Chain A
Amino acid sequence: MSNKFSLRKVFSPETLFFLVVLVLAICLRIYRLNQLELFGDELDVGYQAYSLLKTRKDYRGNFLPVYLESFSESRAPFFIYSAIPFVAIFGLNEWGIRLTSAFWGILDIVFLYLLVRLIEKDKKVAMWAALIMTIIPWHLHYSRAGFEVTLLLFLILAGTYAFIKGLMKKTIWFSGAAICFALSFYTYNTANVFTSIWIIILLFVFRFELKTQLVRLVPALAIFILILIPFSFSIFRGPAVSRFKLISIFSDQKLIEQIILKRSADPQNLTERFFHNKLFVWSKVVLKNYLTAFSPQFLFFNGDPNPRHTVPGFGEIYIILLFFLLSGILVSLEKESKKPNIWLNWLLIAPIASALTVGGGEQATRLFLMVPPLVVLIAIGIEKISAKIKGIFLVIVIMILTYSLVGYFHELTKHYPQEQFRYWHFGYKEAINLVNENESICRNYFLNNSHEPILIRYLFWTGTDPNWFLNNFKDDKENQTTNGFSNFSLGNVFFGHLIEENRLEGVKRILAEPGNCYLAFQKDEIPGDWNIEKEPIRGIKVLGLVKAPGNKDPYIYLLGGLR
């Protein structure tokens, strides 16, 4: 009888290669993870997870909510719930939040490998796919920040894997697929469109296999519907669609204004109504967004225009992989099979959800589900070419990939944090730490809320007890004025902004009262480039200063009065 767990199988070249890829994936995803400051959404995830951990409520007081209520919007819950163990173990900091994404990112690679092996029945293509996904900027970037998309991708990959396994093996696999697909609706809004279409495609592609075993799908269908019941209530009550309403093209007033402007050229002319109307404009915008998702500029050269989503100067995929991508697409089209190609179908439907949103053509987060089919098509291309040109070709490919990765990773870890720190809302962590350190001096704190919402930053970096917060917080609308400072308050902390135009005078007036401290910003309350630490202002004492990375210019001051 053969030993299933023989050493030869455990240490086969394939297994060793996969382990090397996994170790590389882990190292790339956790190295200097705390280098960049947490931005607003990450802080919100962290504090929500912390609140759920401590109180089983979100920080607005809803007990184990289906949709979490934040200060500005409702949030899909699953990623936040999955962050709870990481926050519990690593604490309320960069590691607690970002290790969640890194964890799901690593699982993405594992399940992509398994899925590709299952569908393509080719170990080499699976290994290449795992390696490519490990190193491409798109996946690497999002695995290193607190975005929900790595979890969404895991659920889609795992769900697809379980579905196909269910066709071959036990019915319980279908239930696993149902759970994964249903949970994707609770993870990120893109799933509302993508998962719905993807399930239909899977059922269509495998319709012949399912024809004789439809009854096996019944338990999975029941589980799917059961899990989605709370979600459907959220759709009707609003939280599940509130985010979409904010960003969809159908709510974009600029498009309506365009139509009005065009029609105003000749208002009496009926052809103006015929050619300039909502249907046409929306169709055009959706198509434009959809096609932009495939543009070389977005994929290979510039990426997402938002520096928080992409390292400037790099595309989402290394340009050198374009040739293999095209080869992979041609190979997939040439394949003689009665079944539609899974990866091409996936690639075609992935941008649809994003195309319905403003700027969705270049939004790397909403387009994240394009990653697996692109990676697999590249892997197919590499394998096809390396099968024809053996020997030195593999060495050249590895060298090129290494060069691309080293260049990108160097930029990501060395220059990007110094050049793009503003997009990561740099400065607030140190600023709030200054607030903590000066508790013995300051009785009241006035925190400038006009740049980024500072309340969530205050709660996170002070580790405010969620129970205390729930009992003491009333509203985040500026409903009072204190010494010319429009604000809302929490205990002895006032969050708001100065009403008068001469903000420096406003600061002086607030600090004239003993025990008051003010968190001020360069180029706002402190005009121009005036460094008041070196050139002090009468009546104001600099209790602490946050300097910008790189050039070390003053950025945020904690100011106190001289009395």
Chain B
Amino acid sequence: MNLSIIIFILLFLMSPTPWTLLFNFSRLSKAEINFYKFNSPVFISEINFTRGQIKEAGIAIYGKIFINKFTYFMKDAGQRYLESFDSHFLFTQGDLSIEKSTRNSGPIYWIWLPFLGYGFYLCYKNRSKILVFVLLLPILGILIREEYETFSRLPFIIGMYYIVGLGVTEFFNKKKYYWTKALVLILLVFEYSRFLHYLLLHYPYLVGRY
């Protein structure tokens, strides 16, 4: 079997997101999905307020052309799309919901960051199609009302694990850097242990399990 697939599966099994979702499976299976509302009252009132301000400045036509549902939605959609690449979401805190993230780490361990960057570089260099998928998948996050939501971003997160796997495989295939490889393995084990320690000892208090 391809080494990168094996590493990808290992990384997936070690990563925080599957464990956290499994830990809260019973609660999450009853959770509702809230879709994004394109006609939300907050949206409309923001547009009207900004248009009013522009009208006072005497350039009402500018308001009508540039301040409308479409431009506001595009800005909001852009923001939600880019949330997927936010370091708070990916590395340090994850989902805002305590049931989908321990809030002590994101879906990706920080130690994977160099391999994520390396994996992206390799995909770009080889013009890999996976890059296109990973860049398109965060669009699903736009459809859900909650910000930094995990479920809608699961395909994207899994895609990121694959790219990390590519970076890790390529790095460990190199014949030199033995001490660096040893250090990376130690740090990876440390990060995984730290996560498990937090999940089993501290996180239950946070979700009120006890």
Contacts and interface: CB of A to CB of B under 8 A. Distances in A.
Contact of B66 (A265, A291, A296, A407): A407
A296 B85 contact: yes
Nearest to A361: B87
Given A403-B66, A415-B53, A296 B75 contact: no
A292 B194 contact: no
A275 B194 contact: yes
Contacts of A297: 79, 82-83, 86, 88
Contacts of A300: 82
Contact of B197 (A275, A322, A414): A275
Interface in B188-210: 193-194, 197-198, 201-202, 205
Contacts of A410: 57
Contact of B198 (A275, A330, A407): A275
B121 interface: yes
A294 B87 contact: yes
A319 interface: yes
Contacts of A266: 201
A512 to B, nearest CB: 46
Contacts of A403: 66
A333 interface: yes
A377 to B, nearest CB: 16
Nearest to B67: A407
A319 B88 contact: no
Given A275-B194, A288-B92, A319 B78 contact: yes
A427 to B, nearest CB: 24
Given A271-B197, A291-B92, A294-B87, A414 B66 contact: no
Given A265-B202, A287-B110, A295 B86 contact: yes
B197 A291 contact: no
Nearest to A288: B92
Interface in A421-445: none
Interface in A390-428: 403, 407, 410, 414-415
A296 B147 CA distance: 14
A414 B58 CA distance: 12
A271 B82 CA distance: 37
Contact of B75 (A288, A295, A319): A319
Nearest to B205: A265
B205 A301 contact: no
A292 B197 contact: no
B115 interface: no
A351 B205 CA distance: 35
Given A287-B110, A414-B57, A296 B86 contact: yes
Interface string B105-124: 00000100100000001001
A333 B122 CA distance: 12
Contacts of B12: none
Interface in B25-77: 53, 57, 66, 75
Nearest to B193: A275
| Majority DSSP secondary structure for residues of B touching A | helix
B91 interface: yes
Nearest to A261: B202
A330 B197 contact: no
Nearest to A301: B79
A262 interface: yes
Interface string A296-320: 1100110000000000000000010
A408 to B, nearest CB: 13
Interface in A74-104: none
Given A284-B92, A291-B87, A415-B53, A296 B197 contact: no
B201 A265 contact: yes
Nearest to A297: B86
B87 A292 contact: yes
A284 B191 CA distance: 11
Contacts of B82: 296-297, 300-301, 322
B202 A262 contact: yes
Contacts of A284: 92, 110
A252 to B, nearest CB: 17
Contacts of B66: 403, 407
A291 B91 contact: yes
B12 to A, nearest CB: 22
A288 B105 CA distance: 10
Nearest to A407: B66
A546 B108 CA distance: 53
A280 B201 CA distance: 18
B75 to A, nearest CB: 7
Contacts of A294: 87
A292 B85 CA distance: 11
Contacts of A414: 53, 57
Contacts of B53: 414-415
B103 to A, nearest CB: 12
A192 B83 CA distance: 33
Nearest to A292: B87
A395 to B, nearest CB: 17
Contacts of A296: 79, 82-83, 85-86
Contacts of A265: 201-202, 205
Which 5 A-B pairs have CB atoms at the shortest separation, nearest pair first? A291-B87, A296-B82, A288-B92, A295-B86, A275-B194
29 contacts: A262-B202, A265-B201, A265-B202, A265-B205, A266-B201, A287-B91, A288-B87, A288-B92, A291-B87, A291-B91, A291-B92, A291-B113, A292-B88, A295-B86, A296-B79, A297-B82, A297-B83, A297-B86, A297-B88, A301-B79, A319-B78, A322-B82, A333-B121, A333-B124, A403-B66, A407-B66, A410-B57, A414-B53, A414-B57
Given A288-B92, A301-B82, 6 more contacts: A280-B194, A296-B82, A297-B79, A297-B88, A300-B82, A322-B82
